[in-house]
Structure 1
Amino acid sequence: MQLSKVRRALADAARTVVLPDGIPKLTCTGYVPDSITAPHFFAAEADITYDKAMGRRLDAFDITCRVLVGRQDDEAAQEVLDLLLSGAGPGSLKQCVESARGAPGEAALGGLADDYRVERVQGYRWYEHAGTQYVGAELIIHVVGSGRI
């Protein structure tokens, strides 16, 4: 698997989130940006485990993705974040990101991985990014695929 391509594909999948009227559209990047337009989803750190199967048949990535929401109003910002972190619905990052898994037996992320899933949310708190405060959280996405490509 190629990390940069997987990160971009996850951002593309997150971009399909539909937020209610009056909330700015979610912007997404497959890398840590210098500055953001909130709300924003981006792929950040990655932990890589090589050789989960012999012959370079399987590697695993645990990719930490962040979603940051502007603090125009503390309560309203947290309501938007809660919507993005919900387990289902058009505003759910989990549902939208996992929609790129493909049908059973198909490769995930357009052929970039064998499979993946959004494992958990952590770090629901205030974040500083490029000198600005945001409310946000981290999504841990576990990706598995061939180590041969």
Structure 2
Amino acid sequence: MSAVREAIADAARAVTMPVGTRKLTSTGYVPDEVNEPCFFAGEYSVDFDKAMGRALDEAEITCRVLVSRADDKAAQRLLDRMLSGSGPGSLKQAIEAARGAPGEYALGGLAHDLRVTRIQGYRWYEHAGVDYVGAELTIKVIGDGSG
């Protein structure tokens, strides 16, 4: 899962931030300190043996995106842009681009497929004693469980 989480973070870095906004910090792990805007892979769950012979496992990874709340309205506009379903600022579009071409494995061969399935928890988050506006993205990843 470590390699999968890192590959998702790498894919998220492809998002295009608006002019005058800092580049997205992206990591496959929950950071000690947030350098906003920040995307990170957090909790995950795995359903084993979705097919016989360890042929398929299914993981759901909860990722978070946090932005500064120095200007509440500007922060929420930036967050809305990153949470949109498409466009150069869309995390969904950037992450799903790592699915590969038809017939190719996703995440550079780490998974059969992945899909951003849900956005939830649009709210204020406290992380390491600092408040941010943010949301959670749920990513479903399927792949061979025997490796």
TM over 0.5: yes
Q: Percent of aligned pairs with the same residue?
A: 66
Note the C-alpha offset of 1:16.
0.6
1:113 aligns with 2:108: no
Q: Distance in 1 between matches of 2:136 and 2:119?
A: 6
What 5-or-longer segments of structure 2 have no aligned partner?
none
Q: Distance in 2 between matches of 1:76 and 1:32?
A: 25
Please name the residue that 2:139 is paired with: 141
Q: Distance in 2 between matches of 1:88 and 1:72?
A: 26
Indicate the SS of the match to 1:133: strand
1:11 aligns with 2:9: yes
Match among 84, 98, 101 for residue 99 of structure 2:
101
CA deviation string 1:61-112 (max 9, x = no partner): 0000000001111111000000000111111000000001001111000000
Note the C-alpha offset of 1:36.
1.1
Please name the residue that 1:58 is paired with: 56
1:48 aligns with 2:43: no
Q: Distance in 1 between matches of 2:3 and 2:18?
A: 29
CA deviation string 1:7-54 (max 9, x = no partner): 000000000111111111110000000001000000000011000000
Please name the residue that 2:77 is paired with: 79
Q: Distance in 2 between matches of 1:15 and 1:72?
A: 23
Match among 98, 116, 122 for residue 124 of structure 1:
122
Letter in 1 for 2:79: L
Structure 1 residue runs of 4 or more that deviate by more than 6 Å after TM superposition: none
Q: Distance in 2 between matches of 1:48 and 1:144?
A: 9
- Aligned-CA RMSD value: 0.4
Match among 89, 92, 115 for residue 91 of structure 1:
89
1:21 aligns with 2:49: no
What is the aligned length?
147
